[in-house]
Chain A
Amino acid sequence: DAGVIQSPRHEVTEMGQEVTLRCKPISGHNSLFWYRQTMMRGLELLIYFNNNVPIDDSGMPEDRFSAKMPNASFSTLKIQPSEPRDSAVYFCASSDSNNYGYTFGSGTRLTVV
């Protein structure tokens, strides 16, 4: 099992550009979560999906952020336009139906200059 796979590992972009982060959950997991981690705020849940359907997006900071899960094996988090304050590490996690197999990916470190 390759675990939760995120890409890219690092992204540096200029303010105003569109950024797309990608996640492949563990096969068989039916829930997927996007988190943002900063030194100041720790881990924050942005949005999560059950069976590819967005359940709770209350953590999405503003309309510049959007997430999709077109199928059970792929999800994207998009920021458009990006701003320097979006700089953080973004984690994707997936879990099975009983929530016991909760596993994080290695994260994408985003720097917006």
Chain B
Amino acid sequence: KNQVEQSPQSLIILEGKNCTLQCNYTVSPFSNLRWYKQDTGRGPVSLTIMTFSENTKSNGRYTATLDADTKQSSLHITASQLSDSASYICVVTATGFQKLVFGTGTRLLVSP
């Protein structure tokens, strides 16, 4: 069964600190993996997208990694800001399918 699991479910960090969010998936055959940021009351916004051949991609202070062998991905946030407080969702697509498989998300709170 195609599944995406994320950890932790929630996280509180102090402003300025770094953090790493985890994503494990069983989606096969793998096509691509995305990380989305969803602010409260808003739609998900894409941060990164990686295909099988890519193992790292950055978007400002956000850096995503992908290990297609172990089927794991991480999202690293550097020098966190209050505006980073949001839910972060890992999403995986299987080759030949347009349906995305969503993780349940990690709710991040950056505290001043």
Task: Enumerate chain A interface residues (CB-CB to B < 8 A).
Answer: 4, 31, 42-43, 45, 48, 50, 55-56, 91, 93, 95, 99-100, 102-107, 109
Flag if A106 contacts B49 (CB, 8 Å): no
Flag if B43 contacts A45 (CB, 8 Å): no
Rounded to whole angstroms, the CA-CA distance of A45 and B97 in the bound complex is 13
Rounded to whole angstroms, the CA-CA distance of A100 and B102 in the bound complex is 16
Chain A residue, CB-CB nearest to B51: A100
Task: Enumerate chain B interface residues (CB-CB to A < 8 A).
Answer: 31-32, 34, 36, 41-46, 49, 89, 93, 98-100, 102, 104-105
Total A-B Cβ pairs within 8 A: 40
Rounded to whole angstroms, the CA-CA distance of A55 and B99 in the bound complex is 11
Q: Which of B32, B42, B99 contacts A45 (CB 8 A)?
A: B99
The 7 closest A-B pairs by CB, nearest first: A104-B43, A43-B102, A104-B44, A106-B43, A42-B104, A107-B43, A105-B43
Chain A residues within 8 Å of B46, by CB = 102-103
Main secondary structure of the interface of B (DSSP, over half): strand
CB within 8 Å for A102 and B102 given contacts A107-B42, A107-B43: no
Flag if B98 contacts A99 (CB, 8 Å): yes
Rounded to whole angstroms, the CA-CA distance of A48 and B98 in the bound complex is 9
Flag if A45 contacts B44 (CB, 8 Å): no
Chain B residue, CB-CB nearest to A97: B98
Sample of 6 further A-B pairs with CB below 8 A, known A91-B44, A103-B46, A106-B43? A45-B100, A99-B32, A99-B93, A105-B43, A107-B41, A107-B42
Q: Shortest CB–CB separation between residue A22 and chain B, in angstroms?
A: 15
Chain A residues within 8 Å of B43, by CB = 4, 91, 93, 104-107
Q: Which of A43, A95, A107, A109 contacts B98 (CB 8 A)?
A: A95
Chain B residues within 8 Å of A106, by CB = 42-43
Rounded to whole angstroms, the CA-CA distance of A32 and B75 in the bound complex is 27
Flag if B102 contacts A42 (CB, 8 Å): yes
Flag if A43 contacts B89 (CB, 8 Å): yes
A selection of 23 A-B contacts at a CB cut-off of 8 Å is: A4-B43, A42-B102, A42-B104, A42-B105, A43-B44, A43-B89, A43-B102, A50-B98, A91-B43, A91-B44, A93-B43, A99-B31, A99-B93, A100-B32, A100-B49, A102-B34, A102-B46, A103-B46, A104-B44, A106-B42, A106-B43, A107-B41, A107-B42
